[in-house]
């Protein structure tokens, strides 16, 4: 793509803003891209042409950020350098900002590969300017219907936007994703043979009851979670046989172990949705020629980031922070919480309804909070926070959680105090915020964690141990 005078003005304006933000001590993941795009709307495509080793796109409803970060760790283990919107700024402005950060003032790219997380609704705009070499599609679930519209619309937009020459990495166990591979030459599937929690019958909400091709009801012989599982339709559409297949899946508090022949792998993440994220990253790595040894090392060295099953060590004990944003993801987090059977449970659930969260919170009624009601003896306390704290408390009351175990505290800092109030002994403590509460909560936890380390250090010094 020809570089015009507008390209140079846009480049320098974006990089200039990035420099100013750095001087002010701010990250500025989207503002440089926003300013640059106002000067040259085609800048993203112009910058992308420099990535001659290929651009990897990661999209889907759940798991984009974790999948991208897992793949980034594998790429690093293989010695590769690449542009990356690591902070999860996955709209056009954030993607352009990430490319700007890896471009010098003279317009030359510092690296030849890019790994880009792309919001589902942004895929059409992204692919108008950029042709990804590899596209990972994780899954499709209802999410922020007030923003995305009906799920069928989102799926069609993504499917039609991805260029035919792009190599697809698809979740075979999700029929909504697997359909992308029909009549596509470059497709590689991943999937799961069985998990310890897989079952032959499910009452869980799922998005794909019907065949995406003929409309008949899909027949499942095994459910993993949501609509993910082993399925088939009388018309002939069925789950593809995935070359990358997780077997011998085992889960514990220290993470998940599994085997993809001929190699065994482990991740320090919990929840079977994270098994799928690891498989997606692994499959993409295999597609671009990375060996099993580097994949194994990259996965084992991965540390959870940015509120995705992220652990903080506070004076009260270990606290896990993880984002919740739709029914299926929330259900999987709850199953992970309840799987820790040796300790009582304390939860802080923060629900906002700002634009980035989705204005419509009716999705809370599709979450299986009844599983908490059935385990009321293990529940010590649930604190409801955020702008819609009262709505969350009402939902939990109807789910069977006793009212005396529910606490309302709109301000997150006060909610954290309430969460640990009266705590004696060990407990499983999870904090589950929606998007606009995630990073403020993370900052509060990080500050308290630092203070706890400082306190411990002072105590060691006073005892003459330091």
Task: Lowest mean pLDDT of 95-109, 112-126, 284-298, 332-346, name the range.
Answer: 332-346
Cα separation, 385 vs 352, whole angstroms: 8
pLDDT tens string 439-462:
899 999 988 885 544 444 444 444
Q: Could you tell me the pLDDT band of residue 463, with boundaries at 50, 70 and 90?
A: very low
Q: How many CB atoms lie within 10 A of CB 200?
A: 10
Give pLDDT tens digits for 244-291: 999 999 988 788 999 999 999 999 988 899 999 999 999 999 999 999
Per annotation, catalytic residue among 152, 254, 360, 391: 360
The pLDDT score that the predictor gives to residue 233 is 94
| Residue of 15, 2, 1 whose CA lies nearest to 98 | 15
Which CATH architecture best describes the domain 5-300? 3-Layer(aba) Sandwich (3.40)
For residue 34, pLDDT beyond 80: yes
The pLDDT of residue 206: 66
pLDDT at position 36: 95
Span(s) in the chain for CATH 3.40.1190.10: 5-300
**222/229 Cα distance (integer angstroms):** 5
- Per cent of the chain over pLDDT 90 is 66
Return binding residues for Zn(2+): 211, 214, 233, 235
- Return the pLDDT at 455: 46
Mean pLDDT of the chain: 89
Which phi-psi region, left, alpha or beta, contains residue 358 (left: φ > 0; alpha: ψ -120 to 50)? left
User: Tokens standing for 250?
Assistant: 């085992």
Confidence of residue 144 (pLDDT cuts 50, 70, 90): low
Catalytic-residue membership of 360 = yes
CA 407 to chain CA centroid, Å, is 28
d(CA 345, CA 139): 29
254 φ, ψ to 5°? -90, 0
Confidence of residue 342 (pLDDT cuts 50, 70, 90): confident
Of 76, 81, 99, 113, give the one whose Cα is nearest residue 29: 99
pLDDT score recorded for residue 185: 85
For residues 272 and 225, is the Cβ–Cβ distance under 8 A? yes
- Give dist(CA 381, CA 138) in Å, integer: 34
pLDDT value at 466 more than 70: no
End-to-end CA distance of the chain: 60
Q: Is residue 60 over pLDDT 90?
A: yes
**HEC letters along the chain:** CCCCHHHHHHHHHHHHHHHHHHHCCCCCCCHHHHHHHHHCCCHHHHHHCCCCCCEEEEECCCCHHHHHHHHHHHHHHCCCCCEECCCCCCCHHHHHHHHHHCECCCCCECCCCEEEECCHHHHHHHHHHCCCCEEEECCCCCCCHHHHCCHHHHHHHHHHHCCCCCEEEEECCCHHHHHHHCCCCCEEEEEECCCCCCECCCCCCCCCCECCCCCCECEEEEEEECCEEEEECCCCCECCCCCEEEEEEEEECCEEEEEECCEEEEECCCCHHHHHHHHHHHHHHHHCCCCHHHHHHHHHCCCCCCCCCEEEEECCEEEEECCCCCHHHHHHHHHHHHCCCCCCEEEEEECCCCCCCCCCCHHHHHCCCHHHHCCCCCEEEEEEECCCHHHHHHHHHHCCCCHHHEEECCCHHHHHHHHHCCCCCCCEEEEEECHHHHHHHHHHHHHHHHHHHHHHHHHHHHCCCC
Q: Which residues make up each annotated binding site?
A: 211, 214, 233, 235
Q: Which CATH class, in words, describes the domain spanning 310-456?
A: alpha beta
> pTM, whole model, 2 decimals?
0.83
* Number of Cβ atoms within 10 Å of the Cβ of 35: 20
| Per-residue model confidence (pLDDT) at position 430 | 93
Confidence of residue 308 (pLDDT cuts 50, 70, 90): confident
Answer yes or no: is pLDDT of 93 > 90: yes
| Backbone φ/ψ region at 264: left (φ over 0), alpha (ψ -120 to 50), beta | beta
Mean pLDDT throughout 62-75? 95
Residues of each domain in the chain carrying CATH 3.90.190.20? 310-456
Say yes or no to pLDDT of 6 above 60: yes
pLDDT at 336 over 90: no
């Amino acid at each position: 793509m020809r570089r015009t005078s507008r390209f140079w003005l846009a480049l320098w304006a974006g990089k200039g803003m990035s420099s100013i933000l750095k001087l002010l001590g701010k990250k500025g993941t989207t503002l440089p891209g926003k300013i640059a795009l106002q000067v040259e709307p085609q800048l993203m495509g112009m910058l992308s042409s420099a990535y001659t080793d290929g651009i990897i796109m990661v999209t889907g409803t759940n798991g984009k950020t974790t999948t991208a970060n897992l793949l980034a760790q594998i790429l690093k283990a293989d010695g590769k350098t690449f542009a990356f919107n690591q902070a999860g700024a996955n709209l056009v402005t954030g993607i352009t900002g990430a490319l700007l950060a890896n471009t010098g003032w003279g317009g030359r790219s510092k690296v030849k590969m890019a790994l880009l997380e792309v919001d589902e609704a942004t895929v059409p705009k992204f692919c108008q300017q950029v042709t990804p070499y590899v596209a990972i599609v994780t899954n499709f679930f209802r999410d922020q219907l007030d923003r995305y519209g009906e799920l069928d619309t989102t799926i069609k937009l993504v499917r039609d936007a991805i260029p035919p020459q792009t190599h697809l990495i698809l979740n075979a166990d999700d029929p909504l994703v697997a359909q992308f591979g029909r009549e596509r030459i470059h497709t590689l599937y991943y999937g799961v043979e069985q998990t310890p929690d897989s079952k032959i019958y499910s009452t869980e909400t799922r998005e794909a009851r019907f065949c995406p091709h003929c409309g008949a009801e899909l027949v499942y012989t095994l459910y993993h979670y949501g609509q993910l599982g082993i399925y088939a339709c009388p018309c002939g559409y069925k789950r593809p046989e995935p070359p990358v297949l997780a077997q011998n899946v085992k889960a514990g508090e220290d993470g998940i172990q599994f085997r993809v022949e001929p190699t065994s792998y482990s991740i320090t993440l919990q929840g079977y949705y994270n098994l799928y994220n690891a498989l997606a990253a692994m499959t993409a790595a295999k597609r671009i020629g990375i060996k099993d040894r580097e994949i194994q090392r990259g996965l084992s060295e991965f540390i959870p980031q940015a509120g995705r099953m992220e652990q903080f060590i506070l004076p009260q004990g270990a606290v896990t922070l993880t984002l919740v944003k739709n029914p299926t993801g929330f259900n999987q987090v709850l199953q992970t919480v309840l799987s820790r059977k040796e300790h009582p449970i304390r939860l802080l659930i923060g629900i906002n309804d700002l634009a980035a969260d989705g204005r419509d919170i009716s999705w809370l009624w599709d979450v299986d909070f009844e599983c908490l009601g059935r385990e009321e003896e293990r529940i010590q306390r649930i604190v409801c926070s955020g702008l819609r704290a009262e709505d969350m408390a009402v939902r939990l009351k109807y789910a069977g959680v006793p009212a005396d175990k529910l606490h309302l505290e709109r301000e997150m800092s006060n909610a954290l105090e309430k969460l640990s109030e009266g705590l004696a002994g060990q407990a499983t403590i999870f904090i589950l915020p929606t998007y606009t509460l995630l990073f403020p909560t993370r900052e509060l936890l990080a500050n308290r964690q630092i203070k706890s380390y400082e306190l411990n250090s002072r105590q060691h010094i006073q005892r003459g141990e330091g």
